[in-house]
A and B are shown apart, each in its own frame.
Chain A
Amino acid sequence: MPRIFAYIVHQNGVADDSAAELAAAARKVDAGQSPAAVVTGWGAECDAVCESLRASFGEVWKIANESLAYPNAELVRKALVSVLPAGCIVLAPHSHFGTDLSPGLSIKLNAAYVPDVVDIEGADGAALRLVRQEFGGQVSAHVRCDISSGAVVTIRPGAFKPLETAPAGGVVVDKSSTVGALTAGRRYLETIAPETGDVDITKYPVLVSIGRGIQEQENVAIAQDLADALGAAVSCSRPVVDAKWMEKSRQVGSSGQTVKPKVYLACGISGSFQHLAGIKGNPFIVAINKNPKAPIFRVADVGIAADILEFLPELTAKIRER
Protein backbone atom coordinates (compact mmCIF):
# COMPACT_ATOMS: atom_id res chain seq x y z
CA MET A 1 0.00 0.00 0.00
CA PRO A 2 1.40 3.42 -0.94
CA ARG A 3 2.02 6.06 1.68
CA ILE A 4 -1.01 8.19 2.63
CA PHE A 5 -0.91 11.96 3.11
CA ALA A 6 -3.71 14.20 4.40
CA TYR A 7 -3.66 17.78 3.14
CA ILE A 8 -4.67 20.00 6.05
CA VAL A 9 -6.79 23.09 5.45
CA HIS A 10 -6.34 25.67 8.21
CA GLN A 11 -7.23 29.21 9.11
CA ASN A 12 -5.92 31.58 11.81
CA GLY A 13 -3.55 28.93 13.15
CA VAL A 14 -6.28 26.31 13.67
CA ALA A 15 -6.69 23.13 11.59
CA ASP A 16 -10.08 22.70 9.91
CA ASP A 17 -12.51 20.02 11.20
CA SER A 18 -11.68 18.10 8.03
CA ALA A 19 -8.20 17.23 9.43
CA ALA A 20 -9.62 14.61 11.82
CA GLU A 21 -12.02 13.36 9.14
CA LEU A 22 -9.12 12.81 6.72
CA ALA A 23 -7.27 10.86 9.42
CA ALA A 24 -10.34 8.63 9.78
CA ALA A 25 -10.64 8.22 5.99
CA ALA A 26 -6.94 7.29 5.77
CA ARG A 27 -7.54 4.42 8.22
CA LYS A 28 -10.26 3.12 5.90
CA VAL A 29 -7.76 3.08 3.04
CA ASP A 30 -5.17 1.26 5.13
CA ALA A 31 -5.89 0.46 8.78
CA GLY A 32 -2.28 -0.55 9.37
CA GLN A 33 -0.70 2.74 8.38
CA SER A 34 -0.35 5.96 10.32
CA PRO A 35 -1.05 8.68 7.74
CA ALA A 36 1.11 11.79 7.45
CA ALA A 37 -0.33 15.29 7.54
CA VAL A 38 0.89 17.92 5.06
CA VAL A 39 0.61 21.56 6.03
CA THR A 40 1.41 24.48 3.77
CA GLY A 41 1.55 28.01 5.17
CA TRP A 42 3.82 30.58 6.70
CA GLY A 43 4.97 31.86 10.06
CA ALA A 44 3.58 31.30 13.54
CA GLU A 45 0.14 30.21 12.29
CA CYS A 46 1.67 27.42 10.22
CA ASP A 47 3.80 26.32 13.18
CA ALA A 48 0.78 26.28 15.51
CA VAL A 49 -1.20 24.09 13.08
CA CYS A 50 1.70 21.63 12.74
CA GLU A 51 2.08 21.42 16.50
CA SER A 52 -1.64 20.73 17.02
CA LEU A 53 -1.61 17.91 14.46
CA ARG A 54 1.07 15.92 16.29
CA ALA A 55 -1.70 14.39 18.43
CA SER A 56 -3.47 12.79 15.47
CA PHE A 57 -0.75 12.12 12.87
CA GLY A 58 2.46 10.13 13.11
CA GLU A 59 4.27 12.62 10.92
CA VAL A 60 3.48 16.21 10.09
CA TRP A 61 5.17 17.51 6.95
CA LYS A 62 5.55 21.26 7.16
CA ILE A 63 5.99 23.34 4.00
CA ALA A 64 6.53 26.94 5.12
CA ASN A 65 6.92 29.55 2.40
CA GLU A 66 5.99 33.22 2.46
CA SER A 67 4.03 32.87 -0.78
CA LEU A 68 1.85 30.21 0.89
CA ALA A 69 0.61 32.55 3.64
CA TYR A 70 -2.71 32.63 1.80
CA PRO A 71 -3.75 29.24 0.33
CA ASN A 72 -3.58 29.88 -3.43
CA ALA A 73 -4.36 26.48 -4.96
CA GLU A 74 -1.87 26.83 -7.82
CA LEU A 75 1.01 27.64 -5.46
CA VAL A 76 -0.01 24.90 -3.03
CA ARG A 77 -0.14 22.43 -5.91
CA LYS A 78 3.37 23.33 -7.03
CA ALA A 79 4.70 23.00 -3.48
CA LEU A 80 3.03 19.59 -3.03
CA VAL A 81 4.29 18.28 -6.36
CA SER A 82 7.86 19.11 -5.39
CA VAL A 83 7.59 17.48 -1.95
CA LEU A 84 5.30 14.43 -2.19
CA PRO A 85 6.79 11.05 -3.15
CA ALA A 86 5.70 9.47 -6.45
CA GLY A 87 2.80 7.02 -6.20
CA CYS A 88 1.43 8.26 -2.88
CA ILE A 89 -2.23 8.69 -1.93
CA VAL A 90 -3.30 12.25 -1.10
CA LEU A 91 -6.51 12.96 0.79
CA ALA A 92 -8.05 16.44 0.84
CA PRO A 93 -11.45 17.83 1.83
CA HIS A 94 -14.02 18.29 -0.96
CA SER A 95 -14.42 21.96 -0.06
CA HIS A 96 -14.09 25.08 -2.18
CA PHE A 97 -10.34 24.81 -1.73
CA GLY A 98 -10.24 21.06 -2.38
CA THR A 99 -12.04 21.47 -5.71
CA ASP A 100 -9.63 24.25 -6.64
CA LEU A 101 -6.52 22.20 -5.81
CA SER A 102 -7.18 18.53 -6.32
CA PRO A 103 -8.06 17.89 -10.00
CA GLY A 104 -4.91 19.67 -11.19
CA LEU A 105 -2.83 18.04 -8.45
CA SER A 106 -3.86 14.60 -9.70
CA ILE A 107 -2.70 15.48 -13.22
CA LYS A 108 0.66 16.82 -12.06
CA LEU A 109 1.23 13.75 -9.83
CA ASN A 110 0.07 11.48 -12.69
CA ALA A 111 -2.30 9.97 -10.13
CA ALA A 112 -5.92 8.84 -10.34
CA TYR A 113 -8.57 11.24 -9.02
CA VAL A 114 -11.71 10.39 -7.10
CA PRO A 115 -13.71 13.40 -5.91
CA ASP A 116 -16.33 13.85 -3.17
CA VAL A 117 -16.02 10.41 -1.57
CA VAL A 118 -18.52 9.53 1.17
CA ASP A 119 -17.14 6.11 2.15
CA ILE A 120 -14.10 3.92 1.56
CA GLU A 121 -14.58 0.15 1.54
CA GLY A 122 -10.89 -0.83 1.36
CA ALA A 123 -8.34 -2.01 -1.16
CA ASP A 124 -7.93 -5.16 -3.30
CA GLY A 125 -4.34 -5.11 -4.42
CA ALA A 126 -3.90 -2.02 -6.58
CA ALA A 127 -7.64 -1.17 -6.61
CA LEU A 128 -9.27 1.05 -4.04
CA ARG A 129 -13.03 0.65 -3.54
CA LEU A 130 -14.89 3.84 -2.72
CA VAL A 131 -18.44 5.17 -2.51
CA ARG A 132 -19.71 8.38 -4.11
CA GLN A 133 -23.09 9.93 -4.67
CA GLU A 134 -24.59 11.20 -7.92
CA PHE A 135 -27.69 13.13 -8.97
CA GLY A 136 -27.65 15.34 -5.89
CA GLY A 137 -27.52 12.37 -3.53
CA GLN A 138 -30.49 10.52 -5.09
CA VAL A 139 -28.31 7.48 -5.82
CA SER A 140 -24.95 6.17 -4.64
CA ALA A 141 -22.22 4.56 -6.72
CA HIS A 142 -19.43 2.09 -6.03
CA VAL A 143 -16.21 3.24 -7.67
CA ARG A 144 -12.99 1.33 -8.30
CA CYS A 145 -9.81 3.29 -8.60
CA ASP A 146 -6.45 1.99 -9.84
CA ILE A 147 -3.90 3.31 -7.34
CA SER A 148 -0.82 1.77 -8.96
CA SER A 149 0.53 5.24 -9.74
CA GLY A 150 -1.04 6.95 -6.74
CA ALA A 151 -4.33 8.72 -6.18
CA VAL A 152 -5.81 12.01 -5.08
CA VAL A 153 -9.08 11.54 -3.21
CA THR A 154 -11.31 14.33 -1.93
CA ILE A 155 -13.47 13.54 1.08
CA ARG A 156 -16.95 14.96 1.59
CA PRO A 157 -16.92 17.15 4.73
CA GLY A 158 -18.84 15.46 7.55
CA ALA A 159 -18.97 12.02 5.91
CA PHE A 160 -16.22 10.40 8.01
CA LYS A 161 -16.47 10.33 11.80
CA PRO A 162 -13.24 11.34 13.54
CA LEU A 163 -11.67 8.40 15.41
CA GLU A 164 -10.99 8.37 19.10
CA THR A 165 -7.39 7.28 19.12
CA ALA A 166 -4.49 7.50 21.51
CA PRO A 167 -2.25 10.54 20.91
CA ALA A 168 -0.04 9.76 17.94
CA GLY A 169 2.93 11.68 19.32
CA GLY A 170 3.83 12.71 15.79
CA VAL A 171 6.97 14.51 14.70
CA VAL A 172 7.08 17.65 12.60
CA VAL A 173 9.27 17.18 9.51
CA ASP A 174 10.28 20.45 7.88
CA LYS A 175 10.18 20.06 4.09
CA SER A 176 10.29 23.79 3.34
CA SER A 177 13.74 23.76 1.77
CA THR A 178 12.56 21.35 -0.96
CA VAL A 179 10.30 24.08 -2.30
CA GLY A 180 11.91 26.86 -4.33
CA ALA A 181 10.42 30.19 -5.36
CA LEU A 182 6.75 29.82 -6.31
CA THR A 183 4.84 31.86 -8.87
CA ALA A 184 1.28 31.54 -10.12
CA GLY A 185 -0.89 32.82 -12.95
CA ARG A 186 -3.57 33.59 -10.40
CA ARG A 187 -3.12 36.05 -7.54
CA TYR A 188 -5.29 36.46 -4.46
CA LEU A 189 -6.45 40.05 -3.91
CA GLU A 190 -9.01 40.13 -1.09
CA THR A 191 -12.01 38.48 0.53
CA ILE A 192 -15.34 40.31 0.50
CA ALA A 193 -17.87 39.50 3.23
CA PRO A 194 -21.47 38.97 2.17
CA GLU A 195 -23.90 41.87 2.21
CA THR A 196 -26.31 41.70 5.11
CA GLY A 197 -29.91 41.33 4.05
CA ASP A 198 -33.21 42.73 5.27
CA VAL A 199 -33.85 39.66 7.44
CA ASP A 200 -31.23 37.84 9.52
CA ILE A 201 -32.30 34.20 9.16
CA THR A 202 -29.73 33.10 11.77
CA LYS A 203 -31.79 34.81 14.50
CA TYR A 204 -35.05 32.90 13.97
CA PRO A 205 -35.95 29.74 15.96
CA VAL A 206 -38.27 28.62 13.16
CA LEU A 207 -37.43 28.70 9.45
CA VAL A 208 -39.68 28.02 6.49
CA SER A 209 -37.06 27.12 3.92
CA ILE A 210 -37.90 26.83 0.24
CA GLY A 211 -36.16 25.13 -2.67
CA ARG A 212 -36.66 24.47 -6.35
CA GLY A 213 -40.16 23.14 -5.58
CA ILE A 214 -41.42 26.70 -5.15
CA GLN A 215 -41.25 26.86 -8.97
CA GLU A 216 -41.91 30.59 -9.48
CA GLN A 217 -41.05 33.85 -7.81
CA GLU A 218 -44.68 34.72 -7.11
CA ASN A 219 -45.04 31.50 -5.10
CA VAL A 220 -42.53 32.78 -2.53
CA ALA A 221 -45.53 34.60 -1.01
CA ILE A 222 -47.03 31.20 -0.13
CA ALA A 223 -44.00 30.45 2.06
CA GLN A 224 -44.02 33.99 3.48
CA ASP A 225 -47.69 33.55 4.52
CA LEU A 226 -46.78 30.39 6.44
CA ALA A 227 -43.76 32.09 8.00
CA ASP A 228 -45.95 35.02 9.10
CA ALA A 229 -48.45 32.64 10.70
CA LEU A 230 -45.61 30.86 12.54
CA GLY A 231 -43.61 33.97 13.46
CA ALA A 232 -40.84 32.48 11.35
CA ALA A 233 -38.56 33.73 8.58
CA VAL A 234 -38.32 32.42 5.03
CA SER A 235 -34.93 30.98 4.07
CA CYS A 236 -34.01 29.04 0.95
CA SER A 237 -31.66 26.72 -0.88
CA ARG A 238 -29.30 27.57 -3.72
CA PRO A 239 -31.64 27.26 -6.77
CA VAL A 240 -33.93 29.96 -5.34
CA VAL A 241 -31.01 32.39 -5.11
CA ASP A 242 -29.68 31.36 -8.53
CA ALA A 243 -33.08 32.21 -9.99
CA LYS A 244 -32.90 35.62 -8.19
CA TRP A 245 -36.15 34.96 -6.33
CA MET A 246 -34.55 35.63 -2.94
CA GLU A 247 -31.43 37.42 -1.77
CA LYS A 248 -28.20 35.55 -1.13
CA SER A 249 -28.50 36.45 2.58
CA ARG A 250 -31.49 34.07 2.80
CA GLN A 251 -29.54 31.05 1.53
CA VAL A 252 -28.81 28.18 3.94
CA GLY A 253 -25.77 26.04 3.09
CA SER A 254 -22.01 25.78 2.94
CA SER A 255 -21.80 28.73 0.56
CA GLY A 256 -24.55 30.65 2.36
CA GLN A 257 -25.58 31.02 6.00
CA THR A 258 -25.21 28.54 8.83
CA VAL A 259 -28.43 28.42 10.87
CA LYS A 260 -29.31 26.79 14.21
CA PRO A 261 -33.11 26.93 14.46
CA LYS A 262 -35.31 24.78 16.71
CA VAL A 263 -37.56 23.84 13.82
CA TYR A 264 -36.68 23.72 10.12
CA LEU A 265 -39.38 23.22 7.51
CA ALA A 266 -37.67 22.14 4.29
CA CYS A 267 -40.23 22.85 1.58
CA GLY A 268 -39.51 21.59 -1.93
CA ILE A 269 -35.82 21.17 -1.04
CA SER A 270 -34.06 18.04 -2.33
CA GLY A 271 -31.42 18.05 0.43
CA SER A 272 -27.98 18.33 -1.18
CA PHE A 273 -25.07 17.92 1.23
CA GLN A 274 -24.06 21.53 0.60
CA HIS A 275 -27.49 22.66 1.84
CA LEU A 276 -27.50 20.31 4.85
CA ALA A 277 -24.04 21.59 5.86
CA GLY A 278 -25.67 24.92 6.71
CA ILE A 279 -28.15 23.38 9.20
CA LYS A 280 -26.59 22.98 12.64
CA GLY A 281 -27.77 22.38 16.20
CA ASN A 282 -29.86 19.30 15.36
CA PRO A 283 -33.21 21.03 14.75
CA PHE A 284 -36.53 19.22 14.28
CA ILE A 285 -36.64 18.92 10.49
CA VAL A 286 -39.93 18.65 8.62
CA ALA A 287 -39.48 17.81 4.93
CA ILE A 288 -42.25 18.44 2.43
CA ASN A 289 -41.43 17.31 -1.09
CA LYS A 290 -43.45 15.76 -3.89
CA ASN A 291 -40.61 13.39 -4.74
CA PRO A 292 -40.78 10.65 -2.07
CA LYS A 293 -37.19 9.64 -2.99
CA ALA A 294 -35.71 13.07 -2.28
CA PRO A 295 -32.56 12.75 -0.11
CA ILE A 296 -34.01 15.26 2.37
CA PHE A 297 -36.29 12.48 3.72
CA ARG A 298 -33.20 10.57 4.89
CA VAL A 299 -32.25 13.32 7.31
CA ALA A 300 -35.65 14.76 8.21
CA ASP A 301 -37.52 13.82 11.41
CA VAL A 302 -40.90 14.02 9.75
CA GLY A 303 -41.70 13.77 6.06
CA ILE A 304 -44.71 14.66 3.95
CA ALA A 305 -44.87 13.58 0.32
CA ALA A 306 -46.86 16.46 -1.13
CA ASP A 307 -46.66 19.40 -3.50
CA ILE A 308 -45.75 22.39 -1.34
CA LEU A 309 -47.83 24.72 -3.51
CA GLU A 310 -50.95 22.83 -2.41
CA PHE A 311 -49.87 21.79 1.08
CA LEU A 312 -48.45 25.03 2.51
CA PRO A 313 -51.63 27.12 2.02
CA GLU A 314 -53.66 24.40 3.81
CA LEU A 315 -51.22 24.42 6.70
CA THR A 316 -51.22 28.21 6.90
CA ALA A 317 -55.01 28.38 6.86
CA LYS A 318 -55.29 25.82 9.66
CA ILE A 319 -52.73 27.62 11.81
CA ARG A 320 -54.56 30.94 11.33
CA GLU A 321 -57.88 29.34 12.29
CA ARG A 322 -56.65 28.34 15.73
Chain B
Amino acid sequence: MEILVCTRRVPDTSENEIEMNGAGNDIERDDLVYSVNEADNYAVEEALEIVERTGGIVTVVTVGGEDDEEILRREMAMGAKNGVLLSDDAFSGADGKGIATILAAFVKKGHYDLILTGVQAEDGAAQVGGMLAAMLDYPFASLVNSIEVAPGKLKIAREIEGGNKEINEIDLPCVLSIQTGINEPRYVGMRGIRQVASVPIPTFGAVELGLNGNAGAAGAKVRRVDYFTAPEGKGAEMLEGSTEAIVDSLIELLKAKGGLN
Protein backbone atom coordinates (compact mmCIF):
# COMPACT_ATOMS: atom_id res chain seq x y z
CA MET B 1 0.00 0.00 0.00
CA GLU B 2 1.22 3.51 -0.84
CA ILE B 3 0.58 5.72 2.17
CA LEU B 4 0.95 9.49 2.38
CA VAL B 5 1.17 11.10 5.81
CA CYS B 6 0.60 14.85 6.10
CA THR B 7 2.67 16.34 8.90
CA ARG B 8 3.31 19.72 10.43
CA ARG B 9 6.03 21.35 12.48
CA VAL B 10 4.58 23.10 15.53
CA PRO B 11 5.77 24.74 18.74
CA ASP B 12 6.15 21.92 21.24
CA THR B 13 3.82 22.78 24.12
CA SER B 14 5.41 20.20 26.39
CA GLU B 15 8.71 22.11 26.02
CA ASN B 16 7.32 25.67 26.00
CA GLU B 17 4.98 27.78 28.01
CA ILE B 18 3.15 29.79 25.37
CA GLU B 19 3.30 33.45 26.34
CA MET B 20 2.22 36.71 24.78
CA ASN B 21 4.81 39.07 23.28
CA GLY B 22 5.43 42.58 24.57
CA ALA B 23 2.99 44.15 22.11
CA GLY B 24 0.26 41.77 23.26
CA ASN B 25 -0.83 40.81 19.74
CA ASP B 26 1.14 37.63 19.08
CA ILE B 27 2.76 34.82 21.01
CA GLU B 28 6.42 35.19 21.97
CA ARG B 29 8.19 33.24 19.25
CA ASP B 30 11.86 33.87 20.03
CA ASP B 31 12.63 30.91 22.28
CA LEU B 32 10.08 28.40 21.03
CA VAL B 33 11.19 24.81 20.62
CA TYR B 34 9.57 23.19 17.58
CA SER B 35 8.84 19.57 16.93
CA VAL B 36 6.58 17.42 14.79
CA ASN B 37 2.91 17.74 15.75
CA GLU B 38 2.29 15.00 18.30
CA ALA B 39 -0.68 13.41 16.55
CA ASP B 40 1.24 13.31 13.24
CA ASN B 41 3.83 11.10 14.90
CA TYR B 42 1.13 8.57 15.67
CA ALA B 43 -0.04 8.80 12.05
CA VAL B 44 3.47 8.08 10.73
CA GLU B 45 3.86 5.15 13.13
CA GLU B 46 0.51 3.73 12.03
CA ALA B 47 1.51 4.04 8.37
CA LEU B 48 4.81 2.26 9.07
CA GLU B 49 3.04 -0.56 10.93
CA ILE B 50 0.56 -1.04 8.06
CA VAL B 51 3.40 -1.19 5.53
CA GLU B 52 5.28 -3.68 7.71
CA ARG B 53 2.20 -5.95 7.59
CA THR B 54 1.11 -5.49 3.99
CA GLY B 55 4.10 -4.08 2.12
CA GLY B 56 4.32 -0.70 0.45
CA ILE B 57 5.87 2.69 0.94
CA VAL B 58 5.30 5.57 3.34
CA THR B 59 5.79 9.14 2.13
CA VAL B 60 5.66 12.12 4.49
CA VAL B 61 4.75 15.58 3.24
CA THR B 62 4.49 19.01 4.77
CA VAL B 63 3.61 22.50 3.60
CA GLY B 64 6.11 25.02 4.85
CA GLY B 65 9.63 26.35 4.48
CA GLU B 66 13.23 25.15 4.82
CA ASP B 67 12.93 24.94 8.62
CA ASP B 68 10.23 22.32 8.22
CA GLU B 69 12.59 19.85 6.56
CA GLU B 70 13.76 18.78 10.01
CA ILE B 71 10.44 17.11 10.82
CA LEU B 72 10.43 15.32 7.47
CA ARG B 73 13.88 13.95 8.28
CA ARG B 74 12.73 12.92 11.73
CA GLU B 75 9.83 10.95 10.22
CA MET B 76 12.18 9.48 7.60
CA ALA B 77 14.44 8.36 10.43
CA MET B 78 11.38 6.56 11.85
CA GLY B 79 11.11 4.67 8.59
CA ALA B 80 9.26 6.79 6.02
CA LYS B 81 10.85 6.17 2.63
CA ASN B 82 10.24 9.59 1.10
CA GLY B 83 9.89 13.12 2.38
CA VAL B 84 8.41 15.92 0.29
CA LEU B 85 8.31 19.65 1.03
CA LEU B 86 5.60 21.79 -0.55
CA SER B 87 7.00 25.28 -0.39
CA ASP B 88 6.42 28.56 -2.17
CA ASP B 89 6.23 32.21 -1.14
CA ALA B 90 2.77 32.17 -2.72
CA PHE B 91 1.62 29.68 -0.03
CA SER B 92 2.23 32.02 2.90
CA GLY B 93 -0.89 33.12 4.73
CA ALA B 94 -2.81 30.03 3.63
CA ASP B 95 -5.83 29.13 5.74
CA GLY B 96 -6.93 25.54 6.36
CA LYS B 97 -8.56 25.35 2.96
CA GLY B 98 -5.39 26.70 1.33
CA ILE B 99 -3.27 23.99 2.98
CA ALA B 100 -5.76 21.33 1.88
CA THR B 101 -5.71 22.76 -1.68
CA ILE B 102 -1.90 22.54 -1.82
CA LEU B 103 -1.94 18.97 -0.46
CA ALA B 104 -4.72 17.94 -2.88
CA ALA B 105 -2.66 19.21 -5.82
CA PHE B 106 0.28 17.10 -4.63
CA VAL B 107 -1.87 13.99 -4.06
CA LYS B 108 -3.14 14.22 -7.64
CA LYS B 109 0.44 13.98 -8.95
CA GLY B 110 0.88 10.51 -7.41
CA HIS B 111 -1.34 7.58 -6.52
CA TYR B 112 -1.81 6.94 -2.85
CA ASP B 113 -4.09 4.24 -1.43
CA LEU B 114 -4.30 5.84 1.96
CA ILE B 115 -3.72 9.36 3.27
CA LEU B 116 -3.27 9.98 6.98
CA THR B 117 -3.16 13.17 9.03
CA GLY B 118 -2.87 13.73 12.76
CA VAL B 119 -6.20 14.41 14.46
CA GLN B 120 -5.31 18.05 15.03
CA ALA B 121 -2.38 20.40 15.44
CA GLU B 122 -1.61 23.20 17.89
CA ASP B 123 -4.49 25.33 16.62
CA GLY B 124 -7.03 22.64 17.48
CA ALA B 125 -8.74 23.08 14.12
CA ALA B 126 -8.88 19.42 13.00
CA GLN B 127 -9.78 20.58 9.50
CA VAL B 128 -7.24 19.72 6.79
CA GLY B 129 -7.93 15.97 6.50
CA GLY B 130 -11.68 16.37 6.06
CA MET B 131 -11.22 19.18 3.53
CA LEU B 132 -8.62 17.23 1.56
CA ALA B 133 -10.92 14.19 1.37
CA ALA B 134 -13.81 16.33 0.11
CA MET B 135 -11.59 17.96 -2.54
CA LEU B 136 -10.45 14.52 -3.76
CA ASP B 137 -13.92 12.96 -3.36
CA TYR B 138 -12.40 10.28 -1.12
CA PRO B 139 -14.23 8.95 1.93
CA PHE B 140 -13.02 10.36 5.27
CA ALA B 141 -13.06 9.39 8.92
CA SER B 142 -11.84 11.46 11.86
CA LEU B 143 -10.53 10.37 15.28
CA VAL B 144 -9.40 6.95 14.07
CA ASN B 145 -7.90 4.77 16.80
CA SER B 146 -7.57 1.40 15.07
CA ILE B 147 -7.07 0.19 11.50
CA GLU B 148 -7.38 -3.30 10.00
CA VAL B 149 -6.52 -3.75 6.32
CA ALA B 150 -8.83 -5.78 4.04
CA PRO B 151 -8.79 -6.03 0.22
CA GLY B 152 -9.81 -2.64 -1.20
CA LYS B 153 -11.00 -1.34 2.12
CA LEU B 154 -10.23 -0.86 5.81
CA LYS B 155 -12.05 -1.69 8.99
CA ILE B 156 -11.53 1.24 11.32
CA ALA B 157 -12.58 2.34 14.79
CA ARG B 158 -13.34 5.96 15.62
CA GLU B 159 -13.10 7.30 19.14
CA ILE B 160 -16.50 8.76 19.99
CA GLU B 161 -17.93 9.99 23.31
CA GLY B 162 -17.65 8.13 26.59
CA GLY B 163 -14.87 5.78 25.46
CA ASN B 164 -17.14 4.14 22.86
CA LYS B 165 -15.68 2.96 19.59
CA GLU B 166 -17.60 3.44 16.36
CA ILE B 167 -16.64 0.70 13.91
CA ASN B 168 -16.81 1.49 10.20
CA GLU B 169 -15.80 -0.01 6.91
CA ILE B 170 -14.21 2.51 4.53
CA ASP B 171 -13.27 2.11 0.87
CA LEU B 172 -9.76 2.84 -0.39
CA PRO B 173 -8.44 5.31 -1.31
CA CYS B 174 -9.49 7.32 1.71
CA VAL B 175 -8.30 9.96 4.16
CA LEU B 176 -8.15 9.26 7.92
CA SER B 177 -7.31 11.57 10.79
CA ILE B 178 -5.41 9.61 13.42
CA GLN B 179 -6.11 9.99 17.13
CA THR B 180 -3.23 10.00 19.61
CA GLY B 181 -2.78 6.74 21.52
CA ILE B 182 -3.53 4.49 18.50
CA ASN B 183 -0.03 2.97 18.79
CA GLU B 184 3.33 3.56 20.45
CA PRO B 185 5.46 5.69 18.11
CA ARG B 186 8.96 4.29 17.82
CA TYR B 187 11.93 6.08 19.30
CA VAL B 188 14.17 8.05 16.97
CA GLY B 189 17.77 8.53 18.06
CA MET B 190 20.32 10.99 16.79
CA ARG B 191 21.97 8.18 14.86
CA GLY B 192 18.80 7.53 12.88
CA ILE B 193 18.47 11.20 12.04
CA ARG B 194 22.11 11.38 10.92
CA GLN B 195 21.52 8.46 8.58
CA VAL B 196 18.89 10.39 6.63
CA ALA B 197 20.60 13.78 6.94
CA SER B 198 21.78 13.80 3.33
CA VAL B 199 18.78 12.14 1.66
CA PRO B 200 17.46 14.70 -0.83
CA ILE B 201 14.01 16.12 -0.10
CA PRO B 202 12.22 17.17 -3.28
CA THR B 203 10.43 20.52 -3.11
CA PHE B 204 7.36 21.43 -5.10
CA GLY B 205 6.12 24.98 -5.52
CA ALA B 206 2.95 26.50 -6.91
CA VAL B 207 4.00 26.11 -10.55
CA GLU B 208 4.96 22.42 -10.21
CA LEU B 209 1.65 21.79 -8.44
CA GLY B 210 -0.34 23.67 -11.07
CA LEU B 211 -1.75 26.09 -8.51
CA ASN B 212 -2.65 29.69 -9.22
CA GLY B 213 -2.13 32.39 -6.63
CA ASN B 214 -5.18 31.51 -4.56
CA ALA B 215 -3.68 28.89 -2.24
CA GLY B 216 -2.05 31.52 -0.01
CA ALA B 217 -3.19 34.71 1.68
CA ALA B 218 -5.03 36.00 -1.40
CA GLY B 219 -7.52 33.14 -1.34
CA ALA B 220 -7.78 32.81 2.44
CA LYS B 221 -11.25 33.48 3.77
CA VAL B 222 -10.25 32.84 7.35
CA ARG B 223 -7.56 34.93 8.98
CA ARG B 224 -6.26 35.11 12.53
CA VAL B 225 -6.15 38.78 13.47
CA ASP B 226 -4.22 38.48 16.73
CA TYR B 227 -3.60 36.41 19.81
CA PHE B 228 -4.74 37.56 23.23
CA THR B 229 -4.95 36.24 26.75
CA ALA B 230 -8.47 35.26 27.72
CA PRO B 231 -9.93 36.89 30.81
CA GLU B 232 -9.15 34.84 33.88
CA GLY B 233 -12.73 33.77 34.60
CA LYS B 234 -13.26 33.08 38.28
CA GLY B 235 -9.61 31.98 38.54
CA ALA B 236 -8.09 29.80 41.20
CA GLU B 237 -7.09 31.13 44.60
CA MET B 238 -3.34 30.47 44.47
CA LEU B 239 -1.80 29.00 47.60
CA GLU B 240 1.59 30.54 48.19
CA GLY B 241 4.39 30.39 50.74
CA SER B 242 6.59 27.53 51.89
CA THR B 243 5.70 24.00 50.75
CA GLU B 244 4.90 23.15 54.36
CA ALA B 245 2.50 26.08 54.68
CA ILE B 246 0.82 25.19 51.38
CA VAL B 247 0.44 21.54 52.42
CA ASP B 248 -1.13 22.61 55.73
CA SER B 249 -3.64 24.96 54.11
CA LEU B 250 -4.49 22.39 51.45
CA ILE B 251 -5.17 19.74 54.11
CA GLU B 252 -7.54 22.14 55.90
CA LEU B 253 -9.32 22.87 52.62
CA LEU B 254 -9.62 19.18 51.79
CA LYS B 255 -11.15 18.55 55.21
CA ALA B 256 -13.63 21.38 54.72
CA LYS B 257 -14.65 20.19 51.25
CA GLY B 258 -15.11 16.51 52.12
CA GLY B 259 -11.85 15.31 50.61
CA LEU B 260 -10.38 14.17 53.91
CA ASN B 261 -11.93 12.96 57.13
A residues lining the B interface (CB < 8 Å): 73-74, 77, 95-97, 99-108, 112-116, 129, 132-136, 138-146, 149, 151, 184-194, 205-206, 212, 230-232, 238-239, 241-242, 244, 248-249, 251, 254-258, 262-263, 265, 270, 284-287, 291-293, 297-306, 310-311, 314-315, 318-319, 322
Residue B248 CB within 8 A of the other chain: yes
Given known contacts A138-B17, A192-B167, is B260 in contact with A96 (CB within 8 Å)? Answer: no
Residues of B within 8 A of A135 (CB): 11, 13, 18, 27, 122
B250 touching A315, Cβ below 8 Å: yes
A-B contact pairs, 16 of them (CB 8 A): A100-B141, A103-B130, A108-B134, A115-B127, A116-B124, A187-B170, A189-B155, A193-B164, A194-B165, A206-B259, A231-B261, A254-B161, A302-B238, A302-B253, A314-B243, A315-B247
Chain B: interface secondary structure? mixed
A-B contact count (CB 8 A): 265
Given known contacts A241-B181, A262-B259, A306-B246, is B239 in contact with A255 (CB within 8 Å)? Answer: no
The proximity string for B residues 223-253 relative to A, scoring 1 for CB distances below 8 Å and 0 otherwise, is 1111111101111111100011011101101
B159 touching A255, Cβ below 8 Å: yes
Chain A: interface secondary structure? mixed
In the complex, residue of chain A having the shortest beta-carbon distance to the beta carbon of B236:
A303
A187 touching B127, Cβ below 8 Å: no
In the complex, residue of chain B having the shortest beta-carbon distance to the beta carbon of A100:
B142
Bound Cα distance from A194 to B123, whole angstroms: 29
In the complex, residue of chain A having the shortest beta-carbon distance to the beta carbon of B130:
A103
Task: Beyond A129-B225, A145-B221, list 10 extra A-B contacts (CB 8 Å).
Answer: A104-B133, A134-B123, A139-B20, A142-B228, A205-B258, A231-B261, A257-B163, A298-B230, A303-B238, A303-B239
Bound Cα distance from A101 to B141, whole angstroms: 9
In the complex, residue of chain A having the shortest beta-carbon distance to the beta carbon of B128:
A103
A44 nearest CB across to chain B (Å) = 23
